[in-house]
Structure formats: structure tokens, C-alpha cells
Structure 1
Amino acid sequence: MNKSELVDAIAKDTGLTKKDSEAALKSFIENVSKAVESGDDVQLIGFGTFTTATRAERTGRNPSTGKEITIPASKSPKFKPGKAFKDRVNK
């Protein structure tokens, strides 16, 4: 399912117009992104939790030259599915 198909499904389920459904989806994505960017968790009971994971600086190797390089520390978004979501997928 891509974004336009998701917008169509939301519009069908809620009775909203496609334009309003797309606006709601964009708002959801933007607000989750802002919260995770600022270090907050977004917990949706039954669905899952969006969090930020921190990766420490580490030493890697350039595959073409074999030279050691330093990979800087970074943050990345994570999603941990909730129990109800996992159960639904595994039924």
C-alpha cells in the first residue's frame, strides 16, 4: 500500500474527503517526526511506539581500499510494534 492508497482507505473508512484525509495523514507524519526528532517517544497503545535510537561512534573499514575509517555517532528513528499489532499480523 502506498500513500495515495492509504489516503483512499482513510477517506473510505472515515467519510472524509480525500483532501481532508491527506491533510490528516500529513499532520500525523509531521507531528510524529517532530516528536521523535526532539527525543520524545510517541506511543500508540495497541499499534506501537516510535522512538529515537542512538548509535555510538565506531570504527569501520572502507570495502574498496581496506582502510579503517571512523563512522560518526548518529541517531535514527525506530518503531517497535505493539502486542495487538503483532498478534494481528501473526494470526
Structure 2
Amino acid sequence: MAKNRSELVSEVAEKSGLTQKQVSDVLDGVFETFAEVVSKGDKLTVPGWVSVERTERAARKGRNPQTGAEIEIAAGYSVKLSPGSKLKAAAGSPKK
């Protein structure tokens, strides 16, 4: 089952003994830090869990889906998330 933010906050609060407000504030701080690190072009790693980094996208040609006309897509940035070993293990192996 998918979890949304409020369900995540509630579950972490229950497991940690913190209030939902405290957990929400911590999550806000974590995600603000992710954004700051990535915006500078640095890589953030939480060993065993996840790494987050900014990647560059080269300029390229594309197509307007409505007209089929070729268009130029400007260079830009994207974000790459890579799972760590603990997160991969938690996902398990495919069922046969």
C-alpha cells in the first residue's frame, strides 16, 4: 500500500515516541537539506539507504506531440535517486 506524507509522519511518530509536529519538522528539514545540496550540484548520501544527486541533461531535439514539428529542448538539470543496499534488501527479490 502506498503511503502519503501524513501516514508516514504518523507511523514515524508512533515508532519514535516523538509528536507528529516534531516528525513533520524533521522531515521538512531533511527535504530542505536535500534541495540545498542538490541545487549546489553536490551529492548527498545516506549510507545503506539512498543517494541523491543532480545530473545534467544535454540540449536535444524533440517533437511537439500536437503538431509533430521538431523542437529544440534546452539543456537542463534533473535529479537522480539511487537506492542503497538496505533499501534494495527491503524491496526483496522477485517472486517466481
Which category of TM-score, normalised to the shorter sequence, fits these structures?
A: over 0.9
What does the per-residue CA deviation read over 1:8-37, in whole Å, with 9 as the maximum and x for residues that have no partner?
Answer: 111111111111111001111111111111
Q: How many residues align?
A: 91
Partner of 1:29: 31
5+ residue gaps, structure 1: none
Structure 1 residue runs of 4 or more that deviate by more than 4 Å after TM superposition: none
5+ residue gaps, structure 2: none
The partner residue of 2:63 within 36, 51, 61 is: 61
The partner residue of 2:83 within 78, 81, 84 is: 81
Q: What TM-score results when the alignment is normalised by the length of structure 2?
A: 0.89
Q: CA RMSD in A?
A: 1.0
What does the per-residue CA deviation read over 1:36-75, in whole Å, with 9 as the maximum and x for residues that have no partner?
Answer: 1111111001101001111100011112222111000110
Q: What TM-score results when the alignment is normalised by the length of structure 1?
A: 0.93
